[in-house]
Structure 1
Amino acid sequence: MNIKMSEKLPVIVHPEINEEALRSEKGVSLVAFLDTVRKRKDGTSSVKLKIIHQRYPAYFSTKISLTEKDYLKLFERRISSDLKEKKVIIHTYLMRAYSIINMMDEFSFSEFKEHFKKKRIDAKSVYTYFERYIAQLKSEDRLGTAQNYEYSMKKLKEFHGKKSIAFETITPTFLRKYENWMIANGHSRTTVGIYCRPLKKIINDAIEDGILDSKKSPFGDVKRGRYKSPEPENPKKALTLEEIGKIINYSPEPGSPENYYRDMWVFSYLGNGINMKDVCLLKFKDIYADTIVYAREKVKNTNRSAKTISIALIDKNKEIIERWGNQAEKKDDFIFPVLEGNPNEEEIKKKVQQFVKQVNKYMKRISEKLDLNVSVTTYYARHSFVTVLVRSGVDIHTIAESVGHSSMKVIDKYIASISNEEKVKNANKLLKF
């Protein structure tokens, strides 16, 4: 817990809230403090939120009362479970206040009070934890991830049907019923896994905060009676070298949108299966002689030890940059003309989504023209890169490093898919009399 010293007692500042940015962007200061001016008969004082806007302060209750001695214990490393729970409640109020301030175009106390008093905060509610983490993700401009958590929370609310749900309610039995309900409502097992992953993270946060005992986690080893969410299905998303050759050798009208978006797919395939968002974010400063070095945008916020990825810049991709790239006026300029200037995360998200949509649109048309058995999408570029190298006998650890996976788990899925194909081929040989 971060602290700032007042004249008498320290005030509480939520560790996940950027106070400087809040003051700069919204003109608002947000802290929690112990109001010792108005002591209760039992010797405790209320912990309140203090919001300052244009030098005018306003105060809001957190429903927590403490003695000065216990209040100071909140700043110690090791505290009792009772105080830990109260600390979480104070944090929850701070994050709720922050999320309301953050969503307002222009701050006003009247609008803030209207939203803040709509519902009482229950720090033990799963939804409160969801809302708090969603607000944090949005504050970090991780809008795609925030949307995933919003969908997960919405689906859980739809199943449970109540305004609040305690962590203790979510048991292995509850989750198995939840899975069966989703499947009965037309969702695949892959979708079940997608909705359950954010919930698992939220439960782990509650365990870390001391709200839930780790022994009561519903997720874990099935043999021990716990629940394991379904793994994503692994449909074939890789092309053969022959199919890839057809795409690369296909001759669209020079300078046409079909030409441009086909080249972007080829650039991704030859560039270690680079994600399309990362293609859009590449800058000229990422080019070092015949190599592109970048960090995957997808893991920047989730994997602090994530390594940079090096792409060998072969002639084909150099030609694509020469044909479609921007003029390199500054090292900080984007290579391709999808983004420009200094876009915020919302602008990046919209433009990348439109870009991917266009690549998929034209690749589908090309797939039909070439009589391919599948409608090729951007997803195929990455899978094809890995699969072609696996089939060519390239060392598996080299491939994992090329696509930025520190774990071999994802690469193993590609190998499993290839092995299954080989099994089918071998089985069919038994019928070739």
Structure 2
Amino acid sequence: MQIKYPMNDDVTVKLFLDKRRVKENGKFPLKICVYQKYPKKQKYFPTKYEFTDNEYNGVFFPNKDGKAKNAISRLRDELGLVKKNAREVADKIVPFNFDLFEKKLYSKKGKESDVFYQYDLYIEKLKQEDAIKTASNYECSKNAFIKFQEYKKISEPHLLDYRTVNVQFLNEFEKYYLDVKFGSISTVGSYTRPLRAIFNIALESHVITESIYPFGKGKYIIPSSSKVKKAITKEQLNILYYATPLTKQQEIAKDYWFFSYMCNGMNGKDICLLRNENITNGILRFNRAKTIRSKRTQIRSIAINLTEEAKEIIQKYSVQSTAARDYIFGKISDNMTAEQKRSAIDAFNKFISQHMKKFAASVGVDSDISALWARHSFATTIIRARGSMAEAMQCLGHSSIKVTEGYYAGFTSETMNDISKITMDFKEKIK
């Protein structure tokens, strides 16, 4: 069923023979002229057609007896469809936007209604923004739905119309992934969240209407499981800190794990991205890479009073360069491609997790520990010691208390000093 859109009265569409520039063959290009009333603006969009003055008049202004040759009649009908298509594209864009009009006008026929086509466009956009890991997540989501279509024996599993993705389709996908693929609820969520984002893009771009949007209250609710707690206790922190690693690899992993813990639970990627310019007078300031990509305004920097222990780790592992733009730990370089940086960061995180597990097991602490546990342990320590979810939210660089509540005015310098001291409270010998 075709969606009917009311005419956008703010926009006028007509065909225009552009005589401002004559081509080498003596003809003029035919363009689509789009005029917007409020604010007043006019733009021209090219077509594949070109005419001399006489040819153009012969098509649109036939002789008085009204008899046009068959070829001219067909051409006039063809140009009428060009204008009609441009009119329909304009009517779908409310409020009207010239950039969006151009994109939709020249999009490949039939592609716009394909969910996987929008996946491909967005994946390419993410790659151009160097968001390699997020692009990979979208690839995995897309492939999961292709596999589902293959399982259902759909004749063209690599095509998926937006109208096909309704509540029933999503419930069937969830059942298929749990019962046939023996996947988990959290994995179902990791595949359906990118799909919802694709639908949001389509809705914003007027590719679909709200009536076919399948997510939300009363529709399909993306499942989520309660997260496994990944924090360790104060006593366990004490054991790990004072224990001697059995190998050089365990020593390195331990140092970087505690550096993460002491620096507000900074994740591996942000550690690798630290530059010398991020540290001034013992204060480390940085923006989370995740926040920079997802938020374009009001990006909140995180400020950390470096403890003596953190400074010692920097001294121990830094590349000893004084250039402001050089990376502190030298795990990546600006000569690397985005994929190479992503690979190096993944290897860094894997190294820490692998050798921290072995180290923890050797001293009787939970052997499931990983690089990410430093972040959770920091958050738990701050919340338990100060009872403030808002402080933890700011330290961790979360956007809200739901991820930790609203906005927070900021710390006083005294509070920053307190937080630095709190993180190292476990060092007191337990009697």
Which moved further from structure 2: 35-44 or 188-197?
35-44
Give every structure 1 segment of 4 or more consecutive aligned residues whose post-TM-superposition deviation is greater than 6 Å.
8-12, 74-77, 83-86
Who is 2:71 aligned against? none
Q: Is the 8 A contact 1:207 1:213 kept in 2?
A: yes
- Structure 1 residues 78 and 41: alpha-carbon distance in aligned structure 2, compared to 1, 3 A threshold: farther
Q: Is the 8 A contact 2:276 2:322 kept in 1?
A: no
Is 1:214 paired with 2:214? no
User: Once the 2 structures are TM-superposed, how far is the Cα of residue 302 of structure 1 from its aligned partner?
Assistant: 1.2
Q: Distance in 1 between matches of 2:322 and 2:306?
A: 20
Is 1:193 paired with 2:189? yes
Q: Distance in 2 between matches of 1:191 and 1:173?
A: 19
Q: Distance in 1 between matches of 2:31 and 2:266?
A: 48
SS at match of 1:257: helix
Equivalent residue pairs, number: 341
Pairs within 5 Å for 1:75-224: 78=95, 89-90=104-105, 92-93=107-108, 121-161=110-150, 162-184=157-179, 185-221=181-217, 224=218
What per-residue deviation string (whole Å, max 9, x for no partner) do you get for residues 137-180 of structure 1?
A: 12222111111111101101111232311111111121111111
Is 1:404 paired with 2:401? no
What per-residue deviation string (whole Å, max 9, x for no partner) do you get for residues 73-105 of structure 1?
A: 69997459xx99985544544xxxxxxxxxxxx
Q: Is the 8 A contact 1:44 1:67 kept in 2?
A: no
- TM-score, normalised relative to structure 2: 0.72
Is 1:317 paired with 2:310? yes
- Structure 1 residues 357 and 196: alpha-carbon distance in aligned structure 2, compared to 1, 3 A threshold: same
- Structure 1 residues 164 and 383: alpha-carbon distance in aligned structure 2, compared to 1, 3 A threshold: same
User: Once the 2 structures are TM-superposed, how far is the Cα of residue 400 of structure 1 from its aligned partner?
Assistant: 0.2
- Structure 1 residues 76 and 354: alpha-carbon distance in aligned structure 2, compared to 1, 3 A threshold: closer
Who is 2:256 aligned against? 264
- TM-score, normalised relative to structure 1: 0.71
Q: Distance in 1 between matches of 2:93 and 2:200?
A: 22
- Structure 1 residues 86 and 318: alpha-carbon distance in aligned structure 2, compared to 1, 3 A threshold: closer
User: Once the 2 structures are TM-superposed, how far is the Cα of residue 376 of structure 1 from its aligned partner?
Assistant: 1.1
Which moved further from structure 2: 147-156 or 334-343?
334-343
Q: Is the 8 A contact 1:84 1:209 kept in 2?
A: no
User: Once the 2 structures are TM-superposed, how far is the Cα of residue 385 of structure 1 from its aligned partner?
Assistant: 0.5
SS at match of 1:375: coil
Q: Is the 8 A contact 2:86 2:105 kept in 1?
A: no
- Structure 1 residues 359 and 65: alpha-carbon distance in aligned structure 2, compared to 1, 3 A threshold: same
Q: Distance in 2 between matches of 1:70 and 1:36?
A: 18
User: Once the 2 structures are TM-superposed, how far is the Cα of residue 333 of structure 1 from its aligned partner?
Assistant: 0.9
- Identical positions, percent: 26
Q: Distance in 2 between matches of 1:266 and 1:11?
A: 63
Aligned match for 1:281, one of 258, 267, 273: 273
Who is 1:28 aligned against? none
Q: Is the 8 A contact 2:318 2:329 kept in 1?
A: yes
Gaps of 5+ in 2: 1-17, 22-28, 34-44, 52-58, 60-73, 151-156, 406-431
Q: Distance in 2 between matches of 1:219 and 1:259?
A: 48
SS at match of 1:231: coil
Q: Is the 8 A contact 1:360 1:376 kept in 2?
A: yes
- Which structure has the greater CA radius of gyration? 2
Q: Is the 8 A contact 1:74 1:84 kept in 2?
A: no
Pairs within 5 Å for 1:35-114: 35-37=48-50, 41-42=75-76, 44-45=78-79, 65-66=82-83, 70=87, 78=95, 89-90=104-105, 92-93=107-108
Instruction: Identify the structure with bigger relative contact order (alpha carbons < 8 Å, sequence gap 6+).
Output: 2
- Structure 1 residues 147 and 293: alpha-carbon distance in aligned structure 2, compared to 1, 3 A threshold: same
Who is 1:327 aligned against? 320
What per-residue deviation string (whole Å, max 9, x for no partner) do you get for residues 351-376 of structure 1?
A: 11111111111101111101113321
User: Once the 2 structures are TM-superposed, how far is the Cα of residue 383 of structure 1 from its aligned partner?
Assistant: 0.5
Who is 2:384 aligned against? 391
Is 1:352 paired with 2:345? yes
Q: Distance in 1 between matches of 2:336 and 2:31?
A: 38
Q: Which amino acid aligns with 1:244?
A: L
SS at match of 2:255: helix
Q: Is the 8 A contact 2:30 2:48 kept in 1?
A: no
User: Once the 2 structures are TM-superposed, how far is the Cα of residue 411 of structure 1 from its aligned partner?
Assistant: 2.6
- Structure 1 residues 75 and 183: alpha-carbon distance in aligned structure 2, compared to 1, 3 A threshold: closer
Is 1:294 paired with 2:286? yes
Tell me the C-alpha RMSD between the 2 structures. 3.2
Q: Is the 8 A contact 2:90 2:101 kept in 1?
A: no
Which moved further from structure 2: 141-150 or 71-80?
71-80
Q: Is the 8 A contact 2:284 2:306 kept in 1?
A: yes
Q: Distance in 2 between matches of 1:407 and 1:9?
A: 52
Q: Distance in 1 between matches of 2:269 and 2:32?
A: 41
User: Once the 2 structures are TM-superposed, how far is the Cα of residue 410 of structure 1 from its aligned partner?
Assistant: 2.0
SS at match of 2:260: helix
